[in-house]
């Protein structure tokens, strides 16, 4: 991991420590996808989410 990246697990830890539950995290993804779809994809790539899972997350976020 480069010093400028974080893992998915680290992001989940930060979200949970900030009080976000699963529902809030889904809302966060949906808003990110709605407002900044290219940024959402880039973020997911940055934290190391595999391409197939990125497609699934983005599709679920659009349909939420």
Please return the burial class of 58, using the count of CB atoms within 10 Å of its CB with bins 0-12, 13-18 and 19+. middle
For the chain, the domains span 20-62
Residue listed under structure tokens 């990110």: 32
Please report the pLDDT score of residue 5 as a whole number.
79
Global confidence as pTM: 0.85
What pLDDT, in 10s, does the model give residues 2-58? 556 799 999 999 999 999 999 999 999 999 999 999 999 999 999 999 999 999 999
Please report the pLDDT score of residue 4 as a whole number.
67
Please report the pLDDT score of residue 36 as a whole number.
98
């Amino acid at each position: 991991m480069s010093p400028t990246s974080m893992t998915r697990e680290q992001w989940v830890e930060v979200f949970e420590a900030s009080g976000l539950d699963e529902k809030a995290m889904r809302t966060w993804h949906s808003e990110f996808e709605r407002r900044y779809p290219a940024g959402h994809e880039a973020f997911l790539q940055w934290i190391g989410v595999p391409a197939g899972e990125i497609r699934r997350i983005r599709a679920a976020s659009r349909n939420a």
